[in-house]
């Protein structure tokens, strides 16, 4: 049930009932599209939200109508107090979900069950162990692959996120779709997006259209089923007839879906971002520590939200690398 909240309604009438909280800027992988090769300057730990502050900020948003919180990062499971944070958040009347690289998720299955986490998004950009190492700079393919099956067997709803990049992993598109033949997962193909330090080039992005064309060469028209998308869904969903799982395309670059956006983001250092691509942030953590009224800052963030991609509506503007310079790296935003 979405509470009618003026505070979380923007000037285009979009109600924000979905908060993504980044728990850390750290990660046990180094995916080249997310973490700059030279690394990122980490925020000193005293300037990051502690477990109590995560809960207090979450509580405030829930009181204003947020009913869905996703924990992300960096890699949320590397935080030592991840169990404590999740346990506290599970007291709130919300749906909690998680985005993880699944490297260590096997250690948290009982906790995830206890805290009613149902939906888990796992990043996996290749089905090949050598390639995994090339993309992530770590040799953890076997762990991740095994853990995906563990999550499925444990009854979680699993979505697998793959960032498709030309010449890197786009040759695996059909293998990913064939994975859904026997596995009840949703494989989602995310268009490679530009963020600080990730050497984005439009030519590297595999677009919605590229994917659809490729599908047409492999599957017959009657095999490919377009599924009905849920409200606020960022994904255009499909299925191959008779397959257990589904797949989808997240086309932020070539076909943005901002008119339905219901998301806000809280970074690990407690800054509120109204859009992935916005470099304008409101520092809620400092305000919380100073016991200031937070609603004023939240109002500025929400009412300042632009109609499309932080004002980069046209492809020309969005594809101009200079426009992305003032934003953070994805690893410090929280995807
Ligand atoms: N570590 C966790 C993981 O990898 O799932 C959570 C954080 S990660 C930043 C969240 C999501 O952002 C992942 O699915 C990842 O693929 C996606 N992502 C990161 N950088 C991206 C980029 N440049 N373009 C598109 N998606 C990106
Ligand atoms: Fe880490 Fe996730 Fe970014 Fe990969 S995508 S570097 S796993 S935060």
H runs (alpha helix) in the chain: 51-63, 82-89, 109-114, 129-136, 141-153, 173-182, 208-218, 284-289, 295-303, 315-318, 330-333
Q: Which ligand 1 atom sits closest to the C-alpha of 72?
A: 6
Q: What residues are paired with 322 via a beta bridge? A: none
pTM of the model: 0.95
Ligand 1 pocket test target in 25, 73, 108, 123 with most atoms within 8 Å of CB = 123
Asked if the structure places residue 1 within a domain, the reply is no
Does the beta carbon of 27 lie inside 6 Å of ligand 2? yes
Q: Which domain holds residue 51?
A: 6-333
Query: Within a domain: residue 271?
Result: yes
Domains contained in the chain, number? 1
Instruction: Note the ligand closest to the C-alpha atom of 30.
Output: 2
Q: How far apart are CA 92 and CA 98, in angstroms?
A: 16
Structural contact between residues 284 and 296, judged by C-beta atoms closer than 8 angstroms: no
Residue 277 lies inside a defined structural domain of this protein? yes
HSE-CB at 228 with a 13 A cutoff on CA atoms is 2
User: Cα–Cα distance between 318 and 84 in angstroms, integer?
Assistant: 39
Reading the block at residue 319, the tokens are 């594809």
Q: What is the CA radius of gyration of the chain?
A: 19
In a domain, 264, yes or no: yes
Domain CATH code at residue 24: 3.20.20.70
Ligand 1 centroid, distance to 123 Cα (angstroms): 7
- Quick one: tokens of 333? 């935003």
The confidence score (pLDDT) of residue 27 equals 96
Q: What are phi and psi of 47, to 5 degrees?
A: -100, 5
Q: Is residue 205 part of a domain?
A: yes
Say what the pLDDT of residue 4 is.
55
Distance (Å, whole) CA 198 – CA 255: 21
Residue of 115, 116, 98, 101 lying closest to 147 (CA atoms): 101
Give the residue ranges of the chain where pLDDT is below 70: 1-5
Give the closest ligand to the alpha carbon of residue 22: 1
Q: How far is CA 283 from the centre of its chain?
A: 21
**Distance, CA 176 to ligand 1 centroid (Å)?**
17
Instruction: Specify if 142 maps to a domain.
Output: yes
Whether ligand 1 lies within 6 angstroms of the CB of 158 is answered as no
Nearest CA to ligand 1 atom 5: 100
Q: Which of 30, 71, 163, 166 to mutate to test the pocket of ligand 1 (most atoms within 8 A of CB)?
A: 163
CA dist., res. 236 & res. 189, Å (int): 10
278 in a structural domain: yes
């Amino acid at each position: 049930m979405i509470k009618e909240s003026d505070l979380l309604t923007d000037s285009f009438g979009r109600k924000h009932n979905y908060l993504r909280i980044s728990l850390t800027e750290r990660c046990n992988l180094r995916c080249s599209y997310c973490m700059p090769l030279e690394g990122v300057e980490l925020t000193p730990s005293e300037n990051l939200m502690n477990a109590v502050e995560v809960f207090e900020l979450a509580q405030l948003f829930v009181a204003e109508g947020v009913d869905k919180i996703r924990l992300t990062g960096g890699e949320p499971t590397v935080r030592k107090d991840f169990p404590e944070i999740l346990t506290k958040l599970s007291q709130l009347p919300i749906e909690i979900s998680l985005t993880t690289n699944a490297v260590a998720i096997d250690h948290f299955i009982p906790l995830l069950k206890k805290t009613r986490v149902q939906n888990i998004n796992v990043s996996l950009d290749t089905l090949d162990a050598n390639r995994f190492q090339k993309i992530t700079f770590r040799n953890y393919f076997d762990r991740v692959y095994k853990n995906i099956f563990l999550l499925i067997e444990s009854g979680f709803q699993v979505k697998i996120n793959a960032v498709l990049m030309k010449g890197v992993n786009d040759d695996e598109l059909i293998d990913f779709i064939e994975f859904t033949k026997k596995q009840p997962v949703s494989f989602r193909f995310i268009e490679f997006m530009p963020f600080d330090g990730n050497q984005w080039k439009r030519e590297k992005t595999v677009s919605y259209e590229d994917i659809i064309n490729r599908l047409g060469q492999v599957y017959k028209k009657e095999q490919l089923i377009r599924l009905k998308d849920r409200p606020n869904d960022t994904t255009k969903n499909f299925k191959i007839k008779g397959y257990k799982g589904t797949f989808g395309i997240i086309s932020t670059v070539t076909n943005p879906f901002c008119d339905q956006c219901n998301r806000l983001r809280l970074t690990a250092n407690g800054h509120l971002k109204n859009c992935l691509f916005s470099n304008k942030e409101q520092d809620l953590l400092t305000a919380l520590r100073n016991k200031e009224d937070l609603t004023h800052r939240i109002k500025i963030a929400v009412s300042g939200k632009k109609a499309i991609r932080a004002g980069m509506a046209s492809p020309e503007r969005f594809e101009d690398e200079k426009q992305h310079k003032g934003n953070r790296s994805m690893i410090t935003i929280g995807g």
